[in-house]
Amino acid sequence: MQRGQFSSKFGFIMAAAGAAVGLGNIWGFPTQVASNGGAAFVLAYLALAFFLAYPALMAELIVGRSARANAVKALPSLTDSPILKLGGKAVGIAGLITVAVILSFYAIVAGWMFAYALAPMLDLIGLSQYSQWFKDFSVVRNVMFTTLFMIATILIICGGVNAGIERWSKRLMPALVLILLLLIGYMLTLPGAEEGLKAYLVPDFSKLLDPSLLVSALGQAFFSLSLGVGCMLIYGSYMSSSENIVRVGAWVTLIDVGLAFIAGLLIIPAMYVAQHYGVEIFDQSGQLLNGDTLIFSVLPSLFDQMGQVGIIISLAFFLLMSLAALTSSISLLEVPVSYVVESHKMKRPTASWIIGMLITGLSLIIIFNFELLFGLVIAITTRYSQPILGLFFCIYAGLVWHRDKALTEIKKGDQHAEYSIFWRIWPWYVRFVCPVFIVAMFVHAL
């Protein structure tokens, strides 16, 4: 069978950045900043994203492109030792399970975005009396929109790499950046914004080494770059060999981290603006109220200040967010689907529907036990699973795999790769520094 491949460098960067940029940047990052000490979290996140997540991303991309297979096949192929082969397979399978669980909560939040995009549409056509239903938290609404969102994801994945993933991502990302910048410009003119900017940009250094802050920031960096679950490995496997993989990986990291930073620049000050207009954000002890639904109270309050224009901006924003969530959810579903298609020879549409529906079932279980499961599932997958599995990807790429093979792969897209700064640092860096730091952070947290 012919493997799918992205058609151009721009197409690949946009698709991989589309996979990386999603709810993690615009919902997850600001929420974490708000609940973990503001600017100190931002600083920790930036450092960890560039110094730990970027090298780990490169490990996945390089292994994926070299093996041209899903993680369950790719990791064992890096070694001849039977035990290490088994270990590689186990890491790949743990990634598949993690990715399925991530998608199950991801689809719920994406469903909220979708519902919030429909509400202003109803306002525009004069059906305001119904729009509140879409914004109120209810089991029926959550079930409906999560399912709708999963069906959209499944339909795109049925189409495969070129037809589906790339086409969507190329259009979406630039529009998202534009609307965020416009909103920031407007928001900065409102009262309260300055205080919010300070909270976002002036760190309290004493909080910086707080173990819980560091583990959260690490999880956020790995979640945002879609690491540890074989997602970027699969994307790497679809990348053409002639691309300069190091540069492409750097672009994806810059775009992803840049977008999270910009989103924070909007949401954190907007929280203080919303507070100024009477929205309750913190409780009396200064703790954040309703972290998970924070942006759904903060942003509408901003849009309300804009009058009629606000309805259109709100529509555009939540629509773009739904689409950004979609380009990430397709990358999540692609991981188990490509595994079943490649390793069990199932047809792509059949695999997409079966796995997609199983994951939807998981989402429904979470929705019906929301208080108990939602936060728990997020913490287990993003705070722990992703960084720990990412650690194993680093070990396989750096320690288990032969160094020369990695170099050969990189050189396909850059003949002078062995003289580059990247090659002088990365091999020992993923082998020792990344694993030691990740372990140290967890030990510190315990």
Are the beta carbons of 413 and 244 closer than 8 angstroms?
Answer: yes
298 binds ligand PFF (CB under 6 A): no
* Burial environment of residue 372 by CB neighbours within 10 A (0 to 12, 13 to 18, 19 or more): exposed
At its nearest, how many Å lie between ligand PFF and the CB of residue 348?
Answer: 19
Compute φ and ψ for 282, nearest 5 degrees. Answer: -115, 150
214 binds ligand PFF (CB under 6 A): no
22 binds ligand PFF (CB under 6 A): yes
Q: Return d(Cα 405, Cα 417) in angstroms, integer.
A: 13
What do you get for the CA distance between the two ends of the chain, in Å?
A: 47
At its nearest, how many Å lie between ligand PFF and the CB of residue 214?
Answer: 19
How crowded is residue 395: how many other Cβ atoms within 10 Å of its Cβ? 21
Q: Which of 27, 35, 29, 33 is nearest to 200 (CA)?
A: 33
Residue written as token pair 């899903």:
70
At its nearest, how many Å lie between ligand PFF and the CB of residue 21?
Answer: 6
Q: Return d(Cα 380, Cα 105) in angstroms, integer.
A: 12
Q: Return d(Cα 396, Cα 398) in angstroms, integer.
A: 6
Give the list of residues 6+ apart from residue 442 with CB closer than 8 angstroms, or none. Answer: 215, 387, 388
Site string for ligand PFF, 82-121 (x = CB under 6 A): -----------------x--x-------------------
At its nearest, how many Å lie between ligand PFF and the CB of residue 218?
Answer: 14
At its nearest, how many Å lie between ligand PFF and the CB of residue 63?
Answer: 15
Q: Return d(Cα 394, Cα 374) in angstroms, integer.
A: 29
> Contacting ligand PFF (CB under 6 A), which of 19, 43, 59, 71?
19
Q: Return d(Cα 306, Cα 101) in angstroms, integer.
A: 38
Q: Return d(Cα 364, Cα 371) in angstroms, integer.
A: 13
At its nearest, how many Å lie between ligand PFF and the CB of residue 38?
Answer: 20
At its nearest, how many Å lie between ligand PFF and the CB of residue 338?
Answer: 12
> Contacting ligand PFF (CB under 6 A), which of 14, 16, 20, 42?
20
Q: Return d(Cα 28, Cα 287) in angstroms, integer.
A: 17
- Which one-letter DSSP state was computed for residue 22? S
Compute φ and ψ for 288, nearest 5 degrees. Answer: -70, 135
Q: Decide: helix, strand or coil at residue 266.
A: helix
Which one of the spans 22-30, 77-85, 86-94, 414-422 is the region binding ligand PFF (CB under 6 A)?
22-30
Which one of the spans 190-198, 218-226, 283-291, 356-364 is the region binding ligand PFF (CB under 6 A)?
218-226
At its nearest, how many Å lie between ligand PFF and the CB of residue 105?
Answer: 10
Nearer to ligand PFF, 180 or 332 (CB): 332
231 binds ligand PFF (CB under 6 A): yes
224 binds ligand PFF (CB under 6 A): yes
Nearer to ligand PFF, 114 or 223 (CB): 223
Nearer to ligand PFF, 186 or 393 (CB): 393
> Contacting ligand PFF (CB under 6 A), which of 229, 268, 311, 320?
229
At its nearest, how many Å lie between ligand PFF and the CB of residue 324?
Answer: 8
Nearer to ligand PFF, 18 or 427 (CB): 18
> Contacting ligand PFF (CB under 6 A), which of 31, 331, 338, 360?
331
Nearest residue by C-beta to ligand PFF? Answer: 24
At its nearest, how many Å lie between ligand PFF and the CB of residue 423?
Answer: 27
At its nearest, how many Å lie between ligand PFF and the CB of residue 25?
Answer: 5
266 binds ligand PFF (CB under 6 A): no
328 binds ligand PFF (CB under 6 A): yes
Are the beta carbons of 406 and 62 closer than 8 angstroms?
Answer: yes
267 binds ligand PFF (CB under 6 A): no
Q: Return d(Cα 438, Cα 52) in angstroms, integer.
A: 8
> Contacting ligand PFF (CB under 6 A), which of 24, 196, 387, 390?
24
Chain centre distance of CA 285: 31
381 binds ligand PFF (CB under 6 A): no
The DSSP result for 159-195, as a single string, is H-IIIIIIHHHHHHHHHHHHHHHHHHHHHTTSTTHHH
How crowded is residue 357: how many other Cβ atoms within 10 Å of its Cβ? 14
> Would you tell me which residues interact with ligand PFF (CB under 6 A)?
19-20, 22-25, 99, 102, 223-224, 226, 229, 231, 328, 331-332
